[in-house]
Amino acid sequence: MNVLLLIISILLYASFGWQSLFYVFFSIITTFVAAKHLKGNNKKLVLIATIIINLAILIFMKVVPFTKLSILAPLGISYYTLQIISYLVDVYKNKYEPEEKLFNFTLYIMYIPHLFIGPISRYDDMKKTLLEKRKITANNIFDGLLRVGWGLIKKFVIAGRAAIIISSISGNEEYGGAYALLAMIIYSINIYADFSGGIDIVIGISKMLGIDLKENFNSPYYSESFKEFWRKWHISLSSWLKDYVYIPLGGNRCSTFRKNINLLITFLVSGLWHGVNYIIWGILNGIFVMFGDKFKTKSKILNRLVTFILISFLWSFFIWPDQTTSLKMMASVFTNFNYSEVATQILNLGLTIADWIIFAIFTLILFIFDGNKEKILPKLQNSKMETKTILIGTMCLIVLVLGIYGIGFNVSNFIYSKF
């Protein structure tokens, strides 16, 4: 069955551009061979050489858009490069033995659902669930479908609508001030619904195949500080950065000053990983994580609200095409008070009144669900198959009728797959 899975993965991957296969296979083979030689005296040299080679490819692909070269970055390169590094470092540290079979290692990297948008899985986790014996059960299929349905709703019903607003605001340079603020807040919802929706689909499909992937989000917008946010947002990336950048740098076990520098470097790497356009975003996040805790108040709600708004502001770097425009737009919120104009123009941003209402309702559902996950999820898991079928059917209908897709709409690309 895993053979089939790998064949499907490779075929699907090739369908997005067979040239990319060259890069992936190159990285897989170098890493696989290198890991087997991570012993003896040349250990360090092998490790560093392999990491640098793979990082060099990644960095090269990240700067390609700024050059005149027309090379298409291999899909998922940001994700599999991180997996490769974590694997190499873990083998180096003798955390686990290197994989014996090239087939297994290839499947770990190329397992198609997580290759595009993560989560960035660790080899030891995947070994247990992907490479060892697993079973496809009716229960898993139902739970998986539920998860996929929920992901599709987030992606097509919520994020699809948000994306329309964002593109009509960011597409017009004159839209500053309150428009910019609106865009930032809507974008917070957009990127969360889009990205976590995508992850839900990945986790759901994996679940159906009997593979348990790690969660990548844990109600991030309920965070009371940036520190907490980064523990709950894109968890697989944050924990990767923690394990392979922050801790090797010295982590918490040194002076406060050094600790803060480490933090800053970690977030700089995070920014760079997203692309060279996100350096300021990374640094600002680092600064907020450093000092955020000092400004915490006693009110939970206030903390959450302030954190949410600050995060929204930082998403600016993802909305507008370059850092200067983003900074300008952030400033315009405080200089350009056109709130009344926005209120009258709200129906001219691409959504009808019905669309706004649907958007609001489902966003509300999303936040209520996130806030009460602990209560809802166990109930859902233990509910009858009949109930699950009804839920799945309802979700399908909601996506089909209320989703944004088809002629006239084109939002089928997941935001996070471009990194």
Partner 1 sequence: MKKSSIIVIAIIIVVVIAIAAYFLLNNKEESNQQASNNSTSVTQEENNTTAIKLEYEGKDMTPGAVFSREIFGQEQSYSEVPSCAGQGTDKVYNYGSYEITAYQDGEEEKIYSVYFIDDQITTTEGVKISDDKSVMLEKYGESYEQTGNQYTYKSGNVLLAFIVENDFITSITYSLVIE
Partner 2 sequence: MRKLRIIIIIIFFIILFMFFTRLLSPKYATSLVEGSMISQYYDESKDHEVVFIGDCEVYANFSPMVMFEEKGIKAYIRGSSQQLIWQSYYILEETLKYEKPKVVVFNVNSMRYAEPVSEEYNRLTIDYMKWSKQKVDIIKASMTEDENIWYYIFPLLRYHSRYDKLTKEDFEYLFKRKDNTFNGFLVNKNVKPVENLPVKKRLASYQFEDICYEYLDKITKLCKDNSIELVLIKAPSVYPYWYDEYDEQIKQYAEKNDIDYYNLKNNVEEIGIDYSTDTYDGGLHLNLNGATKLSKFFANILAENYNLTDFSGDKLYNQKLQEYKEFIK
For partner 2, the binding residues (CB under 8 A) are 352-355, 385-386, 389-390, 393-394, 396-397, 400-409
Among residues 53, 249, 342, 392, which is the contact residue for partner 1, using CB under 8 A? 249
Residue among 214, 117, 216, 169 at smallest CA distance from 345: 169
- When asked if residue 327 is in the footprint of partner 1 (CB under 8 A), the reply is no
Dist. CA 168–CA 30, nearest whole Å? 45
Q: Choosing among partner 1, partner 2, none, which partner's interface includes residue 339 (Cβ < 5 to 8 Å by kind)?
A: none
Residues with Cβ within 8 Å of 152's Cβ and at least 6 positions away in sequence, in order, are: 197, 201, 395, 399, 403
- When asked if residue 283 is in the footprint of partner 1 (CB under 8 A), the reply is no
- When asked if residue 250 is in the footprint of partner 1 (CB under 8 A), the reply is yes
Residue among 87, 69, 89 at smallest CA distance from 79: 87
Structure tokens, 301: 């709600």
**Min separation Cβ 63 and partner 1, Å:** 6
Q: Choosing among partner 2, partner 1, none, which partner's interface includes residue 374 (Cβ < 5 to 8 Å by kind)?
A: none
| Cβ nearer to partner 1, comparing 68 with 379 | 68
Q: Of 55-63, 141-149, 187-195, 330-338, which segment contacts partner 1 by CB under 8 A?
A: 55-63
Q: Which helix (H) or strand (E) holds 79?
A: helix 77-92
Structure tokens, 387: 């109930």
Dist. CA 147–CA 366, nearest whole Å? 13
**Min separation Cβ 148 and partner 2, Å:** 16
**Min separation Cβ 286 and partner 1, Å:** 13
Dist. CA 124–CA 159, nearest whole Å? 33
- When asked if residue 66 is in the footprint of partner 1 (CB under 8 A), the reply is yes
Structure tokens, 294: 């000092």
Interface mask (CB under 8 A) for partner 1, residues 180-219, using x and -?
Answer: ----------------------------------------
CA distances from 32 to 24, 38, 59, 111, 347 (A): 12, 10, 21, 16, 55
DSSP 59: H
Q: Choosing among partner 2, partner 1, none, which partner's interface includes residue 269 (Cβ < 5 to 8 Å by kind)?
A: partner 1
- When asked if residue 44 is in the footprint of partner 1 (CB under 8 A), the reply is yes
- When asked if residue 17 is in the footprint of partner 1 (CB under 8 A), the reply is no
Dist. CA 53–CA 43, nearest whole Å? 16
Binding site for partner 1 (CB under 8 A): 44, 48, 51-52, 55, 59, 62-63, 66-67, 89, 92-93, 244-245, 247-250, 265, 268-269, 272, 276, 279
